[in-house]
Amino acid sequence: AQTVTQSQPEMSVQEAETVTLSCTYDTSENNYYLFWYKQPPSRQMILVIRQEAYKQQNATENRFSVNFQKAAKSFSLKISDSQLGDTAMYFCAFVVASGSRLTFGEGTQLTVNP
């Protein structure tokens, strides 16, 4: 069974600063995909970034980047130049390449302060 762990229930950051959210996962599979989703107060689930396990290069999307450490089974999200609109619950998620179901962590509530 796959598990995803987010050890930081809550985090806060000042506007324009950088913050890193942690995520670890456990699997015996070698080929899989990792995601970060954002859930703002509207509760809409929004994809932030995706990483394919067979790619060594870390994914980046504008101000969002990941630090993917496959051997350590770690997948952290870095948000640069934080904006007030980044305030949301952030979920790390995992799916094996041969499967379909996403397994989510418990989430990290990020608050960006002005």
Partner 1 sequence: NAGVMQNPRHLVRRRGQEARLRCSPMKGHSHVYWYRQLPEEGLKFMVYLQKENIIDESGMPKERFSAEFPKEGPSILRIQQVVRGDSAAYFCASSPPVAGGLRAKNIQYFGAGTRLSVL
Q: Where does this chain bind partner 1 (CB under 8 A)?
A: 4, 32-33, 35, 37, 42-47, 50, 52, 91, 93, 95-107
Q: Please, what is the minimum distance in Å from the beta carbon of residue 76 to partner 1?
A: 17
Name which of 62 and 98 has its Cβ closer to partner 1.
98
What's the min distance (Å) between Cβ of 8 and partner 1? 13
The minimum distance between CB 48 and partner 1, in angstroms, equals 11
Task: Pick the closer one to partner 1 by CB: 17 or 101.
Answer: 101
Taking the least distance from each CB to partner 1, the nearer of 13 and 96 is: 96
Neighbours of 43 (CB within 10 A): 8
DSSP, residue by residue, 20-84:
EE--EEE-S-SSEEEEEEEE-TT---EEEEEEETT--SPPEETTEEEEEETTTTEEEEEE-S--G
Residue type, position 59, single letter: A
Q: Are 106 and 6 in contact (CB under 8 A)?
A: yes
